Amino acid sequence: MSASAPVRPTLPVDILARKGGSPLVCLTAYTTPVARLVDPHCDVVLVGDSLGMVLYGLPSTLGVTMEMMIAHGQAVMRGVTRAMPVIDMPFGSYEEGPAQAFRNASRLMAATGAPAVKLEGGVHMADTIAFLTARGVPVMAHIGLTPQSVNTLGGYKVVGRADEGARVMADAEAVQAAGAFSVVLEKTPAGLSQRITQALTIPTIGIGAGVGCDGQILVIDDMLGQFTDFRPKFVKRYANLGAAASDAIADYAAEVRSRAFPAPEHSFADELPPKGAKK
């Protein structure tokens, strides 16, 4: 008797080994059904704190809690078998210092089984990243536009133009030196992103950072056209499921009001038909 070997999930060491190779494919997911859809096609599935905006209707990611990230992280873990799940650390769960970051990162990993976390920040978060990685917490860094700092940055603007580019490069080098296994570059100029990618030995994952990165990530609700409050320039819509769903709901409502639904084929008879009778 023979049995097929279980699929080995992707781990941080595998992502690190992809530096300079075939581009990494990454998407967000927040639920089990969506995780099952993206798993066959993606290398990384991010349980992003973007869920606060696309699922909960929050104005930013700042209101996302540890409990929300754990619940959605557990849901996504039930739906992945081969892609690597990464869970965002929410605002306020790691900025205080390395010890706080470790408590919350270890809580996320223990509660969900995810093999890695992501946190925002460059030079000023290097000590925290080093503390985590030294204690068995793989870290995906996130620099450039960091949404949790939107109030400090003054909006969701491009980060790294002109003299600001040197600071973003310093952030990239700092998170690599601290032990991050990869780094997200968000809304950074394409030329700068390519220079950072060439300078680093860890993979860069772009979102609004041009084609020169080692991989790309998008919020799945953006690329499927389900989140329509606004559309960043860097988003390409591969489907328009929001409009399709709206049309389907309108059709349903019209059929209920006209009593076209439920039809006889959607209803049950008062008595079961005799055995052998044609249905």
* Secondary structure letter of residue 208 according to DSSP: S
Q: Are 43 and 13 in contact (CB under 8 A)?
A: no
Q: d(Cα 140, Cα 130) in Å, to the nearest integer?
A: 12
> Among 170, 142, 169, which Cα is nearest to 86's?
142
Q: Are 109 and 117 in contact (CB under 8 A)?
A: yes
Structure tokens at 264: 């006889």
Q: Taking the CA atoms of the chain, what radius of gyration do you get in angstroms? A: 22
| Beta strands at 44-47 and 182-186: parallel, antiparallel or unpaired | unpaired
From 96, 186, 255, 265, active-site residue: 186
Taking the alpha carbons of 173, 175, 181, 186 in that order, is the dihedral positive or negative?
negative
> Is 255 known to be catalytic?
no
Q: d(Cα 217, Cα 212) in Å, to the nearest integer?
A: 13
Q: Which residues are catalytic?
A: 186
